[in-house]
Amino acid sequence: MARHMWTLLQTACLLGLLSAEYPGLPEEEITPDMRYPPNYFGDLESEETKEEIPTLSPEETPMLFPDEYTTPSPEPCKASAFTEWDKLFTMLENSQMKENMLLQYADDIIKVELQSLRGEMLQFVAQYGASCTSSIDKAARRTGAQMETQLEKALTRLREVSANQYKQQELVLQQLIVSSMTQDAHLKRLENCCLKSSQAKSLQARHLTQEVTDQETRLRLEKNLASISSELQAIREKMTHYMRSNLSNRFPSGCDTGLLFPMRSSTSNVKVTPKIPFPTKAVTICLWAKPTQVLNKTVLFSYSTTGNPYELELVLNGQSVQFTVDGETHLVEAPGVVQEGQWVHLCAVWSSWQGLASVWVNGQQAASSPGVAEGHELRSKGSILLGQEYGRYFRHLNFPETFDAELAFTGKITGVNMWDRVLDSQEISQQAQLDGSGCGIRGNVVAWGVSDIEPKGGVKLIY
C-alpha cells in the first residue's frame, strides 16, 4: 500500500510540473475538436490503487513508514506536454473531412448539370423532332453524339483528376501515419528521461512544418477543383450557345422558311411569279444562299424573256460570284467570297445609266464595274427561276422543260427579293445582318414570303 501511495504522489508531481512548464495553447485557441478525453494519458491507477487507503494516526505513521518519511524524495524529471500530437491528429481528421466534402460537392454539381442538359436535349427533341427533315435529324444525331463525346471526355478527365488527387492524399496520409508512429515511439522513450529545451524547440518546429505541408496540400486540391469547375462551366456555355444558334439561326436574318435543293438534276428548279410586270432600266436582287457544292457555273437566280434567255443571271463560279445583264459579255465578278456549307448574303445592283453594276457580299460592296449593258432596258413578261436557267432551251421554242444538271444549284436559299430600282448601301446592309430581321424587308417585284413560288424536281420548302 505504501508503494502505491508513493507512485501516486510521484505521478501527480510529474503532471503538475509538465502542466506548469508547457501550458500548451491559450484557451481561446483550443477548439472543441482539440479537447482531449479524460483518460487520454491512460489510467495510471491500477485496481489495487483504487482500494480505500486506511487512515492512520500520527503515532502509527512513523512506525509503519519510517524509511519513506526520513528519506527525502527525489525531484521528478521534467517532460514536454503531450498535447501537440492530439492537435496533429485532429487537424488531419478535419482536413480529410473537408476534402471529402469538396469531392462530394463537385460530384453533386456534375450530376445536376448532366440532368439539366439531358432534360434540355429531351425537350428540344420532343418539340422540334416532328417537323425536322431527314437531314436535320442526321445533324441532330451527329450533334448529340458530339456532345455526348465531349461530356464523356470531361467526366473521364474529372475522374482521372479525382483519382490522382485521392492517390496523392492517400500517399500523404500514409506518410503522416508513418511519421506519427515514429514520433510516438520517440515520445515513449521521452517519458523516462528529461527533455532539454533545444529538443523541445526542434519538436515544435517539426510540428509547424507538418502543418504548413497539410495546408499546401489542401490549397492545391482546392485549386484543382476550381479548375475542373471552370472547364465544366465553359463546356456548358458552348453547348448552350450551340443549341440557341441551332434553334434561332437555322435560317439567317430572322427568316422562317427556306428552299432546300437536295441534289443536282435536270428538273430541279423553283419558278417565281413576279408581283408586277417590270419593264425597267434599274434592278436590285438580294438573297441568302448556303451552297453545298459549287462547280464552274452554278445558277442562283435567272430572268429570261422570249427575246433574250440571259436578261439577268446571278451565278456562282467556284468561290466567285458573277452578275450578268443582257448576256455573258456584260458582267461584274467578285472573286473568293463564297464558302461551301456557309450562309452568304448576296446582292446584285444594276442601272442602265452608264451601265453601273455592282455585287455586294454580306452588306459590303465586293465588286463594281461601269459600262455593263449601258442603255439597256429589261423586257417584261419573262420567267424567273431559282437554282437553274432556261438558256437555249427556253420554253417558247416548244422544247420540254428540261435543264442542264451541271448548272443546277444544291444547298439552301432564303430571303429572295427583287426591286425595280437601285438600293442604297444602308438598305442592303440591313438585310445582310445574320442575327437581325432582314427577312422583313421585301421587294416590290419579288417579295419573299409573299410572291408565289413553285418548287419542282425534288426541291422542298422547309420551315
Three-state secondary-structure class, residue 455: strand
pLDDT of residue 66: 46
pLDDT averages per 10-residue partition of the chain, 463 residues = 58 57 45 46 43 48 46 53 75 85 82 84 73 69 82 83 79 77 75 57 63 75 78 73 54 91 93 86 96 91 89 94 89 94 96 94 95 90 91 54 87 95 94 87 94 94 92
Contacts of 297 (CB under 8 A, 6+ apart): 315, 316, 317, 406, 407
Q: Going by DSSP bridges, is the β-strand pair 320-325/331-334 parallel, antiparallel, or unpaired? A: antiparallel
Grid cell locating 463: 420551315
pLDDT of residue 243: 57
Q: How far is the CA of 407 from the CAs of 107, 132, 143, in angstroms? A: 57, 28, 32
Contacts of 384 (CB under 8 A, 6+ apart): 271, 272, 273, 274, 301, 302, 303, 418, 446
Bridge partners (DSSP) listed for residue 453: 272
Chain centroid to Cα 158, Å, comes to 14
Sign, CA dihedral 311-312-315-321, equals positive
Tell me, what DSSP letter sits at residue 378?
A: B
Q: How far is the CA of 182 from the CAs of 161, 175, 318, in angstroms? A: 32, 11, 79
How far apart (Å, rounded) are the C-alpha atoms in residues 346 and 323? 10
Cβ atoms of residues 250 and 412 within 8 Å: no
Could you please report the per-residue DSSP string of 87-113? HHHHHHHHHHHHHHHHHHHHHHHHHHH
Burial 268-284 (b: 16+ CB within 10 A, else e): bbbebebbeebebebbb
Cβ atoms of residues 390 and 305 within 8 Å: no
Cβ atoms of residues 442 and 449 within 8 Å: yes
pLDDT of residue 102: 83
How far apart (Å, rounded) are the C-alpha atoms in residues 259 and 387? 10
How far apart (Å, rounded) are the C-alpha atoms in residues 361 and 323? 12
How far apart (Å, rounded) are the C-alpha atoms in residues 77 and 242? 76
- Amino acid identity at 398: N
How far apart (Å, rounded) are the C-alpha atoms in residues 165 and 183? 26
How far apart (Å, rounded) are the C-alpha atoms in residues 418 and 450? 12
**Overall size of the chain counted in residues:** 463
How far apart (Å, rounded) are the C-alpha atoms in residues 8 and 49? 8
Q: How far is the CA of 250 from the CAs of 17, 60, 434, in angstroms? A: 84, 110, 11
pLDDT of residue 346: 97
Q: Going by DSSP bridges, is the β-strand pair 356-361/364-369 parallel, antiparallel, or unpaired? A: antiparallel
Write down the pTM of the prediction.
Answer: 0.49
- For residue 451, is it left (φ>0), alpha (ψ between -120 and 50) or beta? beta
Grid cell locating 249: 439561326
Cβ atoms of residues 347 and 314 within 8 Å: no
pLDDT of residue 47: 43
Strands, sheet with 282-291, edge to edge from the N-terminal-most edge strand:
364-369, 356-361, 344-351, 282-291, 411-419, 258-261, 460-462
Burial 291-318 (b: 16+ CB within 10 A, else e): beebeebbbbbbbbbeebbbbbbbbbee
Grid cell locating 362: 454580306
Tell me, what DSSP letter sits at residue 50?
A: T
Grid cell locating 318: 467556284
